[in-house]
Amino acid sequence: MTCRIVMICIAIAFAAGCASQALVSQDHPAELAHIDTAVLQQQQLLLHYQLNGERRQAMATVESHTGDESSTPGKALPVKRLRRFTGDSWQRLQDDASPVEVRGSQAWRALLHASLRVLTPDNPGYGTCVDFLQRHELFLYRDENDTLVSVPLVFKPADIKVERSYAFADLLEVMAQQLRATDPPGEHLIFETGDDSEYGYPFVYADTQSGLFLFLQREAADQANAGDLPLGTTLEMLTRTVIDHIQVVFNQPVTSIARLFTMVSVSTADLARPTPLTLVQYDPIPPLNAAGGMDLVQWETRLDEITGTSPSSGRLRYLVDGMAFFPRMIDLVSNAGESVYLRIYIFDDDDYATTIADLLKRRSTAIDVRVLVDGLGTLGASMADSSSLPPGHEPASSMMVYLEQGSSVNVRAVANIWLSSDHTKSIIVDNRIAFLGGMNIGREYRYDWHDMMIELQGPIVSEISADFHRAWVSAGYFGDLQLLMQRDKATVVPVSEADYPIRLLYTRPGDSQILRAQIAAMRQARRDIYLQNPYITSDAMLYELVKARRRGVDVRVIMPYQSDSGIISRSNVLVANAMLGNGIRVYIYPGMSHLKAAIYDGWACLGSANMDNLSLRTNREMNLATSHPPAVDALREQVFRVDMGKSVELTAPLPSNWSDYLAELLADSL
């Protein structure tokens, strides 16, 4: 197991009360780092320690660790790299320094064990997921003897449910409380963890008064660049594109022609109907309306006509960020009795995605597991690494091949006809529970980015399942022909008294339901529009938002300053300034927000679709919509109110330059 925290593995075995095997060769045992002296000089921690018979001197800056890791995905972890310095500097550096109490690995294990017990529920049949430094998800529960048992989350017992998930910051808070309760507590402490791994943390510094914990790594060793050359991946993407367009002539001739006709007609229509802001932005900005919102009953009836759809029914709940979604998904996949179907734009090749792949491969021996990925989306993801990716990870050469290798997982890739994509993200477990939203399978979505998935139950799951099967058949050999011959295989989910109306909306070739519905909602809104989206490049959508504000609608938009695309990041500057100049309240989210959701008066629309032309016109997308008051209120409170509180509201335009206008022109075509 590369990039592991050996001390955590030891703690796991200790917590479980079971024997553990040695993690290093008995023929060549590694010598653990041992501290001789530790002192603190203002904010500099100075160490004398021994490693492999060599005496070393190192230092690290200890700073207050503020903020809540659990509330801001991608926040820097409390990790510091030790810096070596020469012996001549020791005397000078330790002048006026105060001693730091050193505690051994046994004390560290005891502290960790006691803290994990605090986070573990007493309820039989329930456990908790605890994140360790964004490298391990540990599942904790108590057995019949009240002994603490810990296993990796993907190996949790099927009969024990995940009650709650904790971020690493939650564990550190409990550990600080445990230290304050000891007698004597000590103010400045440093623990020897017993960690001897190359990328591990042999020491942990703790300030019991402030609650600061810092995990200290040894000096950086020279590491070879083991990553694939971007040129190789680019050539592979070009090769795949050519092969897709050759194969599509035989497999999807009708779809190919329809897709090409759609792209040409959309481009022509956009040129014929420009929406420049200059048509509306010179009038004074009016005060906000005092009247109520639109009539939602009439609105739902009008939606039937606008989109050609009718509502289904079901129940939903919001799973905000990876800490809420992935443990829940893993729990359901681990317990699935019949099937797991994933339709994902990106199945990445990082360490976390590999862990999910391994779980699917194990489950495929007992249940039907199918994975439908977008070919270019998944391949392109290999060109970039997560900001939190631990060193030493060796990615699979192809995640699609890896999923099928040595397993019964069925994998299909969507052909990217005319460079279009299937951007849908849906997961169906046993045809009774579905997830829909913005998250792909990868480390960014678990740890780095702000995003959301929606868990659904009820008859709406049957519709999502039916759409998966249509996409699955279409991606196979002679897909268009098979699609004509296919019968609906989705299991009908019975209606419950708790169900309420939920509608699925799509972007499909020649059918831009998500665009039509939201344009109409912007025109219909009378009270407020709340919107969060990372990619707002559609001139038509921006135009309607500005017109709504100039009717007196309270329009608020949450967006990231820096996205995962440099072109979009610069375009976002001009979009934010244009909205601000037209009276729209703009909130800049800290870090990368990938979440796509909107509320128009009391109608919510959310899912996979961005506010760009690719999502609204070209790619395949799936959103859900509802006017059910408790569901809409929950979205407003759990997402919009919270994210506005975390964000910085613009009060003046962002700095821009001439190149941003070029970026906007490029972004308009995306």
Give residue 379's pLDDT: 76
Confidence of residue 390 (pLDDT cuts 50, 70, 90): confident
**Dist. CA 476–CA 482, nearest whole Å:** 8
Same domain as 18, residue 131: yes
Residue 455 lies in a domain: no
Using DSSP's 3-state secondary structure scheme, residue 46 falls into strand
Question: Taking 60 as the threshold, does the pLDDT of residue 409 lie above it?
Answer: yes
Same domain as 524, residue 620: yes
**Dist. CA 428–CA 343, nearest whole Å:** 9
Same domain as 630, residue 516: yes
Same domain as 411, residue 559: no
Residue 297 lies in a domain: no
Residue type at 370? R
Strands in 161-166's sheet, in edge-to-edge order, are: 148-152, 136-142, 126-132, 161-166
Same domain as 182, residue 250: no
Same domain as 471, residue 431: yes
Question: Taking 50 as the threshold, does the pLDDT of residue 109 lie above it?
Answer: yes
Using DSSP's 3-state secondary structure scheme, residue 600 falls into strand
Contact 346, 441 (CB under 8 A): yes
Same domain as 342, residue 480: yes
Q: Which domain range does residue 199 map to?
A: 6-217
- Of 79 and 68, the structure prediction assigns the larger pLDDT to 79
Cα–Cα distances in angstroms (integers) from residue 219 to residues 60, 201, 279, 479, 555, in the given order: 10, 11, 60, 55, 50
Contact 414, 471 (CB under 8 A): yes
Same domain as 20, residue 122: yes
Per-residue pLDDT tens over the stretch 482-509: 667 776 666 788 889 999 999 999 998 8
Per-residue pLDDT tens over the stretch 155-173: 999 889 999 999 999 999 9
Question: Taking 50 as the threshold, does the pLDDT of residue 402 lie above it?
Answer: yes
| CATH code of the domain containing 484 | 3.30.870.10
Contacts of 298 (CB under 8 A, 6+ apart): none
Confidence of residue 618 (pLDDT cuts 50, 70, 90): confident
**Dist. CA 132–CA 175, nearest whole Å:** 13
Per-residue pLDDT tens over the stretch 556-572: 999 998 766 656 666 77
Residue 475 lies in a domain: yes
Question: Taking 60 as the threshold, does the pLDDT of residue 10 lie above it?
Answer: no
- Of 29 and 206, the structure prediction assigns the larger pLDDT to 206
Q: For a pLDDT cut of 70, what percent of the chain falls above it?
A: 76
The single-letter DSSP state of residue 202 is S
Question: Taking 70 as the threshold, does the pLDDT of residue 239 lie above it?
Answer: no
Same domain as 507, residue 486: no
Residue 417 lies in a domain: yes
Residue 248 lies in a domain: yes
Strands 368-374 and 339-344 turn out to be parallel
Confidence of residue 378 (pLDDT cuts 50, 70, 90): confident
Question: Taking 80 as the threshold, does the pLDDT of residue 264 lie above it?
Answer: no
Cis-peptide into 184, omega within 30 deg:
yes
Give residue 52's pLDDT: 77
Residue 311 lies in a domain: no
Comparing C-alpha atoms, which of 552, 528, 529 is closest to residue 541? 529
Give residue 49's pLDDT: 86
Tokens representing 367?
A: 């249940």
Question: Taking 50 as the threshold, does the pLDDT of residue 388 lie above it?
Answer: yes
Give residue 142's pLDDT: 92
Using DSSP's 3-state secondary structure scheme, residue 181 falls into helix
Strand partners, 512: 507
Confidence of residue 514 (pLDDT cuts 50, 70, 90): very high
Per-residue pLDDT tens over the stretch 18-34: 322 222 333 334 467 88
Residue 292 lies in a domain: no
Residue 287 lies in a domain: no
CA 24, 25, 30, 32 dihedral sign is positive
Comparing C-alpha atoms, which of 204, 206, 192 is closest to residue 64? 206
Give residue 69's pLDDT: 42
Residue with tokens 């050759």: 246
**Dist. CA 5–CA 10, nearest whole Å:** 9
Give residue 15's pLDDT: 37
Same domain as 470, residue 523: no
pTM: 0.85
Ranges 100-104, 310-314, 580-584, 651-655: which has the least confidence: 651-655
- Of 477 and 443, the structure prediction assigns the larger pLDDT to 443
**Dist. CA 638–CA 633, nearest whole Å:** 8
Where does 539-620 show beta strands of DSSP type E? 554-560, 585-589, 597-600, 603-607
Confidence of residue 529 (pLDDT cuts 50, 70, 90): very high
Same domain as 488, residue 512: no
Cis-peptide into 230, omega within 30 deg:
no
**Phi/psi at 84 (5° precision):** -75, 150
Give residue 387's pLDDT: 74
Q: Mean pLDDT across the stretch 83-107?
A: 79
Tokens representing 417?
A: 């006809």
Same domain as 532, residue 477: no
Cβ neighbourhood burial of 284 (10 Å; 0-12, 13-18, 19+): exposed
Per-residue pLDDT tens over the stretch 622-645: 999 999 999 999 999 999 999 999
Q: How many domains does the chain have?
A: 3
Strand partners, 80: 216
